[in-house]
A = this chain, B = another copy of it.
Amino acid sequence: MIKVIAFDADDTLWVNEPFFREAEEKFASLMEDFMPRHSSIKELYLTEIENLGLYGYGIKGFMLSMIQTALKISDHKINAKAIDMLLTIGYDMMQKPVELLPGVEEVLEELKQEYRLVMATKGDLVDQEKKLKKSGLDHYFHHIEIMSDKKEADFAKLIRHLDISPEEFLMLGNSLKSDVLPVLALGGHAIHIPFHITWEHETVADEVVHANFNKTDNISKVVEMIRGM
Contact = CB atoms under 8 A, between A and B. Distances in A.
A214 interface: no
A212 interface: no
A67 interface: yes
Interface string A138-154: 00000000101000000
B87 A80 contact: no
Given A76-B80, A80-B78, A87-B64, A54 B94 contact: yes
Main secondary structure of the interface of A (DSSP, over half): helix
Contacts of A61: 60
Contact of A64 (B64, B71, B126): B64
A81 interface: yes
Contacts of A148: 125-126, 129
Interface magnitude class on chain A: 20 to 34
Contact of A54 (B56, B76, B77, B91): B91
Given A63-B64, A64-B87, A67-B83, 5 more contacts: A54-B94, A60-B61, A68-B87, A76-B80, A78-B80
A79 interface: yes
Interface string A38-73: 000000000000000011100011011001100100
Contacts of A83: 67, 71, 80, 83
